[in-house]
Homo-oligomer: A and B are copies of this chain.
Amino acid sequence: MNTMLEAASLAEAVRAGRLNPSEVVERCIAAIEAQEAEIRAFATLDLPALRTAASRPGLDATPLAGLPVGVKDILDTADLPTERGSPLFAGYRPFGDASIVRMMARAGGLLAGKTVTTEFAFMQPSPTRNPRRPSHTPGGSSAGSAAAVAAGMLPLAIGTQTGGSVIRPASFCGVTGFKPSFKLLPVLGLKPFAWSLDTLGLFAARVADIAFAMSALTGRDLALDADPATPRFAVVKTARAAHASDDAHAALEAAARAAADAGAQVVELELPAEVEAGDAASAVVQAYEAALTFADEWDRHRDQLSPTLAAYLEEAQRTAPEQYDAARRTSRRARNALADTLHGFDAVLTFSAPGEAPEGHATTGSPVFNRLWTLAGTPCVNVTGLTGASGLPIGVQVVGRFARDKATLNAAHFLERAIATR
C-alpha cells in the first residue's frame, strides 16, 4: 500500500512552487493504477479529464492548490455520473453539482472521481476493500472515500454520515475522518436519507489536513492553532461500552493515557440518561424520515432496492408520527443535556467503532458508537495512530461541542500528536 498523501503539505509545496498540480495528480494516478483493481474505491473515474483539469493555469494560487478530491457517489456531480450505489441510478446524470462540489471547485480543488458508496449510503456492503487488509471490510457507507485516502490514492475525499458513515470507515481504514457540526457543510445535492441526521464529512491523512481542507472549502478560520491550549477531555464509554472489543477499550485507554501524559486534563465521565436516550431516538428519527425520503423509490421502484434496504424501509414505514415527535423531543433534550454535561470540557474522548474492521464483507460494521453524536450534531474526529490485536487500525473519536469545530480539531490534533509521541 502506498503512503497516505498529506493534503496540507502537498498544497504548501504547490503554493511554494516545489511541486505543480499535475505532479500531484500523477502521484494519485500512479497509486490508483497500482491498487484500484483490488481496492475498488471508485464508482467512476475520468483520469484524462483529471489530467486536463490539473493543467489549468493559476491553480497553484487557490486555497486547495489544485489538489484532487474524491466525492462520494451519493453527491450530485454534473460532470460525472451519480449512481448512488444503486442499479436504479445506473448512468444517472444530475442537472448540476452539489453545493459542496461547487465549493470545492471554487476553492481550486479538482474532482478526482466519484468514490464508492453503499446503496443509498445504507448498510448493504459495497465492493470496496480495506486497503489495510483487503479481506476485511472498509466500513460504510463512505467506503470508497475512506479507502481512497487510506491507500494513498487521494489526499482528500468527501463523505457523508447519517449514522456512522464517516467515523466508522475512517477508523477501520486508519485515516482521519471528520464529521463537522450539523449543517456546517451544505447538503444540497446529496441524495437524502434522513434530513435531521445527514451530515457531510471529510477524509484525509491527518488532522492538519482536515483543518486545512475545511478552511479552504468554507472560507472559515478552522486552521489549527500554532500553540493550542491544552485540552480538557471527558472520557466517555457510553451505555454501549459492552459493544466495544477488548482492543477498542485498550485503544481508548491508551489514548486517554497519552493525552494525560502530554498534559491534558482527562476525566472519566458518565453521560446522563437524558443524553444516552438520544441513541435510541436516532433510530426512530432515521426510520421515520427515511420512509419519506425514499417514498418515490418505495412506491415506484421497489424491485430495484436491495433486500436489506427494502426490509428496513418496510419496517420504517410503521413508525407513527407520534413516535417520531417523541423521538424529536428526546433528541432536543439530549442535545441540551449534552451541552450542559460538557460544560468545562473541550471534547469527549470515546470509541470510534467497536474494534478493528471486521473480517469479511458480509457487513460494514456497526455505527453503535456514532449515532448519538450524529443526532447531537456535534463535530467528531476519528484520530489515528493506534492498532488492535491483529494489527489493523483502531481509531479513537474526539467529539467536540456543537459549532466549536475549530476547538474540536485542535483537541484532536493534540491527541494525535500525543499518540504519535507516546
Question: Which A residues are within 8 Å of any B CB, using their own CB?
Answer: 78, 89, 92, 95-99, 102-103, 105-106, 183, 186-189, 192, 195-196, 218-220, 289, 292-293, 295-297, 299-300, 320-321, 325, 403
Contact = CB atoms under 8 A, between A and B. Distances in A.
B99 A297 contact: no
Nearest to A89: B95
Given A186-B289, A186-B293, A188-B192, 14 more contacts: A89-B95, A95-B296, A96-B296, A97-B300, A99-B295, A102-B292, A102-B295, A105-B299, A106-B299, A188-B295, A218-B321, A219-B320, A219-B321, A220-B321
A299 B106 CA distance: 9
Contact of A300 (B96, B219, B295, B403): B96
Contact of A292 (B103, B195, B196, B300): B103
A281 to B, nearest CB: 16
A87 to B, nearest CB: 13
Contact of A102 (B78, B103, B106, B296): B296
A105, A218, A295 interface centre (most CB from chain B within 10 Å): A295
Nearest to A105: B299
27 contacts: A78-B296, A89-B95, A95-B296, A96-B297, A97-B295, A97-B296, A97-B299, A99-B292, A99-B293, A99-B295, A99-B296, A102-B295, A102-B296, A102-B299, A103-B292, A103-B295, A106-B299, A183-B195, A183-B196, A186-B195, A186-B289, A186-B292, A187-B195, A188-B192, A218-B321, A219-B320, A219-B321
A95, A98, A195, A297 interface centre (most CB from chain B within 10 Å): A95
A378 B385 CA distance: 48
A105 B95 CA distance: 26
Contacts of A186: 195, 289, 292-293
A188 B187 CA distance: 12
A95 B96 contact: no
B92 A92 contact: no
A329 to B, nearest CB: 9
Contacts of A297: 96
A48 B345 CA distance: 65
Nearest to A102: B295
Contacts of A289: 186
A102 B105 CA distance: 35
Contacts of A293: 99, 186, 188
A103 to B, nearest CB: 7
A328 to B, nearest CB: 9
A227 to B, nearest CB: 23
A420 to B, nearest CB: 31
A196 B195 CA distance: 12
A95 B85 CA distance: 16
Contacts of A89: 95
Nearest to A96: B296
A118 B288 CA distance: 32
A97 B300 CA distance: 10
Contacts of A292: 99, 102-103, 186, 188
A185 to B, nearest CB: 9
A195 B99 CA distance: 12
Contacts of A296: 78, 95-99, 102, 189
A292 B98 CA distance: 9
Nearest to A88: B95
Contacts of A192: 188
Q: 5 smallest A-B Cβ distances: which pairs?
A: A96-B296, A102-B295, A99-B292, A186-B292, A97-B296
Contacts of A106: 295, 299
A259 B192 CA distance: 44
A321 B218 CA distance: 8
Contacts of A98: 296
Contacts of A97: 295-296, 299-300
A359 B96 CA distance: 37
